[in-house]
Amino acid sequence: MIHFTPIPTDIVRHYQGGGADANGQTPERQLAAGTGNPCRHCLRMVPEGAGMLVLAHRPFPAPQPYAELGPIFLCADACQAGGGTALPAMLASAEYIVRGYGADDRIIYGTGGVVPTPAIPERAAELLADPKVAYVHVRSARNNCYQVRIDRG
């Protein structure tokens, strides 16, 4: 069993309140255009025309060589945390990178690969069956942007 885990609400509320992002900058406020702005908290697309934040996020507890930092989108207004066992609605592309990380928050080599979206739950479960894999990231197959974390359910 797997669980899709959003960015923690306390971190999201920090950003939504104007708190500094991973680069020390105030999140940019924009209006969502089209259907390509996935919120990493509610795990849905930010509705077209709605306010959204664009910011740098590091989905790791501390900086270190493997702690990738990159741009993400969030709903500008408070949204409810998504998550659960079902494939999130925000994963709307045809494929994503799925990669395992150890308890030390470092990439476990040989776990990463581009996976068709419908196969993400199965691949994540395979990776999480390995005791060396503490959690899995789903990342954009085109730009490597962080999408969502997957934990054991």
What per-residue confidence (pLDDT) applies to 77? 97
Q: What angle do CA 61, 70, 120 make, to 5 degrees?
A: 80
Structure-token pair, residue 5: 């885990």
Structure-token pair, residue 74: 């969030």
Q: Is the pLDDT confidence value at 108 over 90?
A: yes
What per-residue confidence (pLDDT) applies to 36? 87
Contact call for residues 76 and 84 (beta carbons, < 8 A): no
pLDDT over 70 percentage in the chain: 100
What per-residue confidence (pLDDT) applies to 142? 94
Q: pLDDT band for 35, please (50, 70, 90 cuts).
A: confident
Task: Dump pLDDT digits (tens) for 54-78.
Answer: 999 999 999 999 999 999 999 999 9
Of 105, 103, 74, 82, the residue nearest 5 (C-alpha): 82
